[in-house]
Amino acid sequence: MMESPRLRELLHAVRARGSAAVDEFWDEIIGSGMPLIEPGREPDRWLVTLLWREREPIAGVYALVNRLTDKGRVADGMMRRLSGTDVWFVTFDVADTLRSSYRFYPFGERDRFFGNGVPAHLDAKALMARVMPDPHNPGSGSSGGRGFGSVLELPSAPSLAEWKQMEARPAGTLSAYDFTTATGADTYRIRQYIPAGPMPAGGLAMLVLLDAQRWFDDFNVPAAIDAAIRAGRCAPVGVIGVESPAAPQDRMRQLGANRRFVRMLADELIPFAESSGVRWAGRERRMLCGQSLGGLTALAAALWTPQVYGAVLAQSPSVWWRPDGSVNPNTYTDSSNSWLFEQFGAAAVGPVRILIDAGSNEGLLTEHLHRLQDMLSDRGFRSRLQVYTGGHDYACWAAAMMSGLAEPCGAMPADAPSRRGAGRSPASEDR
């Protein structure tokens, strides 16, 4: 059964008028923008249809949609051809709060990934060099290689307003430098952004941001910070960004709960930044933010250096990680022991506020984070878990980052509920 009413209309029109109906359809779709979004069968649900136009003979098209069709859901991303047309399509019934990045992969008969049929599990990383954006939805505000690429987003998805102008020139001061540790054993590339405008009376808030090369080069975080400050979304905040290595194994060494790296941030880099002439606000207005392995590092910092930060923002943290390397994302199960759970279960409660973000489509990761939040709440940590509708996705993390910057690093509301299901929105757990 074809779910999209508009495609059913097209099919009837093609039978009546032939290729002219197809050309009119593409003119209409290109003019209104992609993807095709139509009301769903239930309130707060939408039918989202991704479309690909066949320009040359192909065997099929795979739509790689973050955490909707990757990993073990490959079959859900296989597009179908509308009979008698050049239209390939796949339709999803989704919540009106969803945001997800997507790409297309048209393939031939002897394709290395799909030549022998639809694989049960697909390594999206191996495919990423070959996929392409939606030519009619390359990315809101993105150009010159910057941006989140093609994104499907529904009306009630968290705002990405601050990230819409990827090519905007930051109003403040950008700088970059190599920072060598006191022992001389390690050197890190640092990106710094100090926003324009008068210095706040209490000093400038500090965001210590991991994977800085992605956030500065690909997503223009300085321009987003400027936009957030102008809109009153957050107080003036400067960014101290730490780049990570390009090679996966080297990034794992740096961000895999590396105690030496966490201590370097606390004992060397932050003091160095504070001595460089900028008047920073101090611990209560200092936040460490990271994603995936970087989120793991942020939580490790809350364990090992809680007195250094007012808050840590851990986005989709790698809860599967263990020091002995015995578990990876593909072998992690519902019954796997979480190293983070063990560590926080034994740690003293510190002053740092722990902010955790994760996507509703991240499966076991989010389930384990619910358990971690319950334990943190029970033990008295100042923590919250916010679950957005989406996946392991920079477009989702960017929106959540701005929400995190808007939250104070001080005390939580006294009446905030502490347990899942205890009088709170299903998207958030707070203490």
pLDDT at 163: 94
Which residues does 48 contact at the CB level (< 8 Å), separation at least 6? 35, 36, 37, 91, 92, 94, 98, 152, 154
Indicate the pLDDT class of residue 121, thresholds 50, 70 and 90: confident
- % of the chain residues with pLDDT over 90: 81
pLDDT at 416: 35
Dihedral angle sign, alpha carbons of residues 66, 70, 73, 75: positive
Which of 142-146, 163-167, 420-424, 425-429 is most confident?
A: 163-167
Indicate the pLDDT class of residue 1, thresholds 50, 70 and 90: low
Please give the mean pLDDT across all residues of the chain: 91
pLDDT at 386: 97
Q: Which segment of 34-43, 126-135, 180-189, 323-332 scores lowest on mean pLDDT?
A: 323-332
Q: What six digits make up the tokens of 390?
A: 């989406």
Mean pLDDT score, 169-184: 97
In angstroms, how far is CA 111 from the centroid of its own chain? 30
CA distance 49 to 87: 11
Q: Tell me the one-letter amino acid at 254.
A: Q
Spell out the domains of the chain, with CATH numbers in brackets. Answer: 5-157 (2.60.40.10), 168-430 (3.40.50.1820)
Indicate the pLDDT class of residue 162, thresholds 50, 70 and 90: very high
Q: What is the pLDDT of residues 55-106, one digit of tens each?
A: 999 999 999 999 999 988 999 999 999 999 999 999 999 999 999 999 999 9
Q: What is the pLDDT of residues 209-267, one digit of tens each?
A: 999 999 999 999 999 999 999 999 999 999 999 999 999 999 999 999 999 999 999 99
Q: What is the pLDDT of residues 367-416, one digit of tens each?
A: 999 999 999 999 999 999 999 999 999 999 999 999 999 986 533 333 33
Indicate the pLDDT class of residue 331, thresholds 50, 70 and 90: confident
pLDDT at 141 exceeding the cut of 50? no
Q: What is the pLDDT of residues 10-67, one digit of tens each?
A: 999 999 999 999 999 999 999 988 999 999 989 999 999 999 999 999 999 999 999 9
DSSP calls for 14-29: HHHHTHHHHHHHHHHH
CA distance 313 to 285: 13
Indicate the pLDDT class of residue 422, thresholds 50, 70 and 90: very low
Query: With contact defined as beta carbons under 8 Å apart, do 156 and 98 qualify?
Result: no
CA distance 166 to 164: 6
In angstroms, how far is CA 256 from the centroid of its own chain? 18
**Pairing relation of β-strands 428-430 and 383-388?**
antiparallel
Which residues does 214 contact at the CB level (< 8 Å), separation at least 6? 394
Closest CA to 128 of 64, 79, 72: 64
DSSP calls for 277-338: S--B--GGGEEEEEETHHHHHHHHHHHH-TTT-SEEEEES--TT--TT----TTT--TTPPP
pLDDT at 417: 34
Q: What is the pLDDT of residues 293-318, one digit of tens each?
A: 999 999 999 999 999 999 999 999 99
